Chains A and B, each alone.
Chain A
Amino acid sequence: MSNFRTSLKLGIFLGVRQLKRANRSTTGLIIFIMTLTFLNLVVVSGILVGLIVGGNIANRSQYTGDVILTTPYGKNDITNSQDIIATLQANPHVTGYSERFIQGGTIEANYKTRTNFNDLPNQTSTQITGIDVGHEQDFSNISKYVTEGSFLDPTQSGYIVIGANLLERYSTFDTGTLLKGVYPGDTVKVTINGATQEFIVKGILKSKVGEVSLRAFITENDFLRVAGRPSLDANEISIKHDATVSDDQLKQTLVASGFSDDAKIQTATEAIPDFLNQIKLAFGVLGNMIGAIGIVVASITIFIVIFINAVTRKKYIGILKGIGVAPMAIQISYLLQSLFYAASGSILGTAILYGLLVPFFNAHPVNFPFSDGILVADPLGTFVRVIILLVVTLIAGYIPARMIIKKNTLDSILGR
């Protein structure tokens, strides 16, 4: 033990001085490589995962909230919706909710100018969604996503806001079933449950959340009137909490209140389609694979650096052994150098990551067709990657040092 302590002390003594008096440009270059390796390890997978997480965040913010209640299988709507809403209003942790009335329907445009009835109508099918404008606005600030015209006014009747993905000019696929040439101010025919009424297009909503940009929104009163709904039971209730409770705790509160028979209750995470979770997993694996290549490159770099360092200093290593310095002390001096390179790279990389890249991507998300990609770098994952980099670098530094130290002392001294 005391031998180890002595070797450790001398190893640090030698290692620190080798680092202090090394060529600064070379040291800077090695640290730069280690920083890039660390960033490659974290950022590539972080961006890939961030594509999905960015989508999930938008989904939570604009559609599901933290907990979403939907129509259970075999029912037409969420029974006892008003009791549920009363419960939500009484819950101090609930900061907002939006109840939505949804029914499949069609929207037809340009029907007044359609002279040949053999032509297909300018029509699309969608989910017509009736909302309490105030609640929805408080919940999702949905008007922020209006790209043309304006959002619904709760005091007005006979207006509709259409999701951009229902319009041919906004969509790049499935153009045969999308509306053509529809603009704010145009009149469209909305048919729900066989009942048809004309609405004026108030605005166009453009969002990367499918449930926003693939739906058409009218006021709750208009919906109930046109659809002929006899009750106020909604089809969807999205809820946000104040973060002093977890999603699951809020869900359990609703279950404990006896609403699990009235509605399908899911947290935002549970409501994410399974294929998205699979993509997230696949992107994570892909990112880790790319990161692993970076780790291999970094370990080879460190191996070469330490190997060249040890080979060029073979004579001095021989002299150290010759004058009685334990091989362990010499190895520790090289391990310390490897550790310094890896730790410096990791510290610099972490500073760049959290001081620059994460804020940058949060402010300027990557514009992907289906989400606004952010950089996901949770501290635990970053810490694990730092540890991986340190361990791999230590091994990469240890092996060449060991190879040179195992050489015959006299051969090293004489340069044989």
Chain B
Amino acid sequence: MIKANNITKTFKNGPVETAVLKGITLEIKSGEFVAIMGKSGAGKSTLMYQMSLLDHPTTGSIVIDGIDATALDTNARTEFRLTKLGYIFQDYALLPELTALENIMVPLLMQGKSDEEAKSIAFESLKKIDLVHRADNLPSQMSGGEQQRVSIARAVAHDPKILFADEPTANLDNVSSQAVIDIFRSLHKQGQTIVMVTHEKEYTVHCDRIIHISDGQVVA
């Protein structure tokens, strides 16, 4: 599903160059639930940004679903992210002026679905995470755990090939974190490919594989 070939990422700040990823090669198979772990500054989030096409690697290539994603132009990458990838951010990243239902509808509308169709799919997604009663609530009217569940619903509503989650439980209490992980487990059981960056080992027990990153390299 994902093949990363010798990826490097170097940040330049004037004359100073900082190599964050130092030639990472890895493969994630379809349907796998993979956790990327490492210490703070190890490069785990940077690796996920490259694999999820939110950033360009300095060198190397990323092939997703048979397509060399690093060769795509900006518009094609945007389209690729819209149709094939789903994202869950650490701070939920819901649009504050949209209700839970409307937040989920956004990528669906961008895919060209009608209002009614998008609303229906979004409603079903809310049902799956047991948040139908929050459909008309704004993010500010929901708890952190509820917002993150809506964020998951938005990420999977359009049935992406791969779901990327960047420290999805970092801002949540134990109960909410467990609820999020339970949703991931459920999605995984249905065959969803999931790549999750985390530094909390207890939430990786249901993962198929853990990739450890240290100093910009895969160590295990």
Write the residues of chain A forming the contact surface with B, with a CB cutoff of 8 angstroms: 2, 6-7, 9-10, 13-14, 17-18, 20-22, 315-316, 319-327, 329, 409-410, 413
A316 touches B93 (CB 8 A): yes
A-B contact count (CB 8 A): 73
Using a CB-CB cutoff of 8 Å, which residues 113-141 of chain B contact chain A?
138
Contact B83 A17 (CB under 8 A): no
CB distance from B16 to the nearest CB of A (A): 16
Distance in angstroms between the alpha carbons of A327 and B138 in the assembled complex: 24
Contacts A10-B109, A319-B89, A320-B106 known; list 5 others, CB within 8 Å. A6-B109, A20-B97, A324-B78, A324-B81, A325-B106
Provide a sorted-by-A list of 5 A–B residue pairs whose CB atoms are within 8 angstroms: A6-B112, A7-B110, A17-B97, A21-B97, A326-B78
Closest to B82 in A: A324
Q: In the complex the two chains form, what is the Cα distance from A409 to B52 in whole Å?
A: 12
B110, A326: Cβ atoms closer than 8 Å: yes
Contacts of A14 in B (CB 8 A): 95, 98, 106
Would you call the interface of chain A mostly helix, strand, loop, or mixed? helix
Cβ-closest chain B residue relative to A409: B54
Please tell me which one of the listed residues A18, A320, A321 contacts residue B97 in the complex, with CB atoms under 8 A apart.
A18
Residues on A with C-beta less than 8 A from B159 are: none
- Does B96 count as interface, using CB distance less than 8 angstroms? yes
Number of interface residues of B (CB under 8 A): 30
Question: Which residues of chain B are near A320, meaning CB under 8 Å?
Answer: 95, 106
CA distance A13 to B105 in the complex (A): 10
**Contact assessment for A410 and B54 in the assembled complex, using a CB-CB cutoff below 8 Å:** yes
With contacts A17-B102, A22-B97 taken as known, whether A323 is within 8 angstroms of B107 at the C-beta atoms is yes
B33 within 8 A of partner (CB): no
Of A20, A316, A321, which one neighbours B78 at CB under 8 angstroms? A321
User: With the chains together, A43 CA to B64 CA distance in Å?
Assistant: 62
Shortest CB–CB separation between residue B163 and chain A, in angstroms?
Answer: 12
Q: Say whether A319 contacts B81, CB under 8 Å.
A: no
Question: Which 8 A-B pairs give the minimum distances between C-beta atoms?
Answer: A324-B82, A21-B97, A324-B81, A319-B93, A410-B55, A10-B109, A410-B54, A6-B112
A2 to B114, CA, bound (A): 13
Smallest Cβ-Cβ distance to B85: which chain A residue: A324
In the complex, what distance in Å separates the CA atom of A413 from the CA atom of B110? 19
